[in-house]
Chain A
Amino acid sequence: MPPAGIWIDGLVQSCIYMTMAFGMVLVFSILGILNWAHGQFYMLGAFVVYYAITAAGIPFPVSLLISGVVVGGLGMLVEKFVIERLSVPGYGMLYVTVATLALVFFFEGAAGMAFGLMDKGLATVLPGVLDLGSFSVSYQKIAVIIFTLVIMAAMYVVLNRTKVGLAIRAAAQEPVAASLYGISVKRVSLIVMGIGCALAAMAGSIMAPVYSVNPFMGRIPMIMSLLAIVIGGLGSLTGAIVGGIILGLLNSVIAYKISYFSEVALFVLVILVLLIRPQGLFGAPQK
């Protein structure tokens, strides 16, 4: 039975995968594409927070929100000027996919040029640990867990209790009918992209003090959130959450048991899911 430290660690990982996966699924259900540059928004969010705190002295919670807004805005620009223009009926996914992949290189290069390649740290934010007897947890990690709960609650409220949320859900389920009711799918796409990227950015921001900030930090969270979505089901928001939890906990526990083979185990698991039950746990079965 893995010690408590491993479970807590797994929980923290789950929080991040969950948040990222949620953002990706939102974007996928409206725009129909997987945003391969999702990890880059995670990275950019972390950099925004880093500079907000170290260069401008803005306190952490405010910096967090700023990074969400700024990077969310960037996401909307990307949607408007790149994704929209490349969506061709029929082969739409193809060109957009290549474009988002090219954007990965673009953002990594831009971040490398603008911010330098050395790891940057925010260890001074929320320093200290909470001593719980046989193990301790850093306040930074506790912050991650609290943040995720808050964000998920906020998402629930937005999606289920606001007009915008209603429009989003309608457009996700029945785009044609929704547009008949006067919901502009274009506008919803823009908003959803903004929200999705903001989620990624804030995930990156809250994690920035835990590890370190460098231009390449977005690659692995991207892949992990993709795996989480597969396990949970491609179109399902609940699936994103559950998939994130499963993946995060599994990753830590398996790594504890069999060390570096956890990589293989996860990929094999994903292949099995795709072969046996491709729609994941909560997705709708496709033909």
Chain B
Amino acid sequence: MMLGRYYIDYKSVLPKVVAGALVVLLAVFPVITTNMVTLSILISSGIWAIAVMGFTLVLRTGQFSMGQAAFMAIGGYVSAILTVKLGIPYWPSFLAAGVVSGLIALVIGVIMLSAGGIYFSIITIAFGEIVRIVALNWEAVTRGAAGILTRPPAPITIGNFEINFATSVVPYYYFMFLLVIMAGLVFRQIDRTRIGGTFRGVAANPMLSEHLGVHLMKYRVIAFTVAGVFTGLAGAYYVTFLSVITPLMFDLWKSIQIMMMSIVGGISSIVGGALIGATVLYTLGTYLSRLPIYNIQYLLFGAAVVLVLLFLPKGTGLVDLWGKFWHKVFREPEEYEMPEESEMAVE
């Protein structure tokens, strides 16, 4: 396609333009609708997507963490305790939550990642359960099962314009948007740099990578820590949005949910897969919970996930459909169709 003197390769530009249009649409979404329920769904999906990105990154290093929700709990509790009990303003607490989560991930990661494969997964389950039990029983700090009521961040005044979290959901939406973009950029950057390439290599063939001098543990720990930081931030933000944190909010089943969102979304793309997986599954879950026939929710949810997995081509997730869509749109019919007769001829 010629545009003046410049040749624009529409095949690579068009998908990006469409993606960009979607991003713009999402950015102005609160202007189109102030429906609180829709915005809440999008906000929650975005937050879970961040946790899912962390999971996928760790997965890229060949490790299967079933305790990511525990980091959301840690981040949530840290920010809740700091803001509510110690009176520290929200944004420093939010960052502190990420830091504490990251530190814990670092320490736990160094200890736990030395076991391998499935052992690591089981340890993460145990870790998640221990976090939940501690939160439930350490009443002096966490108020036990009663949980902690969180407060919205204080209003921010910029000139004449006030951003008030207490009166509307829209500020939450925009901040989530920023957070997702930031997280997405970080994860994507890690993916593209040498570290990311190394991760892919480690995941594909750990033994070869080790022989090539790659120090496995180091990269696994880095991935786990980065995931811990962002998952902690996501948790800290989520509990403010929900106005409460209880020990039961981030249990094993939420970790499992994160895992499902990652795999269904697709692990080939950390950011895209996480966003699609989180949004689709979270929306599906919420939509199903409106159905008047209770119990059918669990049934349909489980069935939907299994069916999606069965019908996707082996080894891919929903995000790969995006690539396939454009591939199908752009291919010239004459180039790729193999006439059936030639296959028969080979027989």
Contact = CB atoms under 8 A, between A and B. Distances in A.
Q: Do A and B contact each other directly (Cβ–Cβ < 8 Å)? A: yes
Interface of A: 34, 82, 85-86, 88, 90-91, 93-95, 97-99, 101-110, 112-113, 117, 226, 230, 234, 260-261, 263-264, 267-268, 270-271, 274-275, 278, 286-287
Given A91-B315, A106-B298, A234 B306 contact: no
A102 B122 contact: no
Contacts of A109: 295-302
A268 B111 CA distance: 14
Given A274-B122, A275-B114, A275-B123, A88 B315 contact: yes
A119 to B, nearest CB: 15
A106 B130 CA distance: 27
Given A105-B302, A106-B302, A109-B298, A264 B260 contact: no
B263 A275 contact: no
Given A85-B310, A94-B64, A101-B260, A106 B299 contact: yes
B115 A113 contact: no
Contact of B306 (A90, A103, A112, A274): A103
Nearest to B261: A98
B223 to A, nearest CB: 16
B129 interface: yes
A275 B120 CA distance: 9
Interface residues of B, number: 43
A274 B115 contact: yes
Interface string B106-122: 00000110111111001
Contact of B295 (A88, A97, A112): A112
A270 B129 CA distance: 12
Interface string B300-321: 1111011001100011000000
Contacts of A267: 126, 129-130, 133
11 contacts: A98-B260, A99-B305, A102-B305, A104-B302, A105-B305, A109-B299, A109-B302, A113-B299, A234-B118, A260-B137, A264-B137
The SS class assigned to the A binding surface is: helix
B264 interface: yes
B127 interface: yes
Interface of B: 59, 64, 111-112, 114-119, 122-123, 125-127, 129-130, 133-134, 137, 256, 259-260, 263-264, 267, 293-303, 305-306, 309-310, 314-315
A222 to B, nearest CB: 11
Contacts of A112: 294-295, 298-299
A271 B126 contact: yes
B299 A110 contact: yes
Nearest to A278: B119
Nearest to B304: A102
A275 B302 CA distance: 33
Contacts of B137: 260-261, 264
A105 B294 CA distance: 13
A82 B133 contact: no
Contacts of A108: 298-299, 302
Given A102-B305, A103-B306, A264 B295 contact: no
Which of B256, B295, B301, B315 has the most CB atoms of chain A within a 10 A radius of its CB?
A: B295
A33 to B, nearest CB: 10
B123 A274 contact: yes
A230 B119 CA distance: 8
Given A105-B298, A108-B298, 15 more contacts: A82-B310, A86-B310, A88-B315, A99-B306, A101-B256, A106-B301, A112-B298, A260-B137, A264-B130, A267-B126, A267-B129, A270-B126, A275-B115, A275-B123, A278-B115
B306 A113 contact: no
A82 B122 contact: no
Contacts of B64: 93-94, 97
B117 A286 contact: yes
B115 A101 contact: no
Nearest to A276: B115
